[in-house]
Amino acid sequence: MSRTPVREALRQLELEGLVTIIPNRGAYVSGISHKDIWDIYKIRSMLEGLCARWAAEHITEEQLDQLEESLLLSEFQMKRKAASARSRLRRWMVVFTLFSMKLREAEC
């Protein structure tokens, strides 16, 4: 890959305040504030609500069955004893990802 697209991407990130470029030193990710985090989660919750509404309007019976199956799987996984918190988290992430993928399929 050429350096030009990377430089342009970094310049764009700098314009957006996400990266600080220091000549002869490199690019550094700018810090993120508590307000930034709050704003991100607020926007994400609004988008997820909108996506859920779209999915509900377009979901097929087959997709609905798949969502129900992934919910049952998540309940089963959460009730199972795990060797560690990391193992429980890993299981939850797999099930959540499966559920999210099925929900996104229904949006289209």
Best CA proximity match to 93, nearest among 66, 73, 64: 73
Question: pLDDT at residue 92 above 80?
Answer: no
27 DSSP β-pair partners: 21
Looking at residue 27, its pLDDT comes to 92
Looking at residue 1, its pLDDT comes to 65
Residue 13 structure tokens: 């990130």
Question: pLDDT at residue 107 above 90?
Answer: no
Best CA proximity match to 69, nearest among 103, 104, 38, 20: 103
Q: How confident is the model over 45-85, as pLDDT tens digits?
A: 898 888 888 888 888 898 888 888 888 877 777 777 766 77
Q: Are 10 and 19 in contact (CB under 8 A)?
A: yes
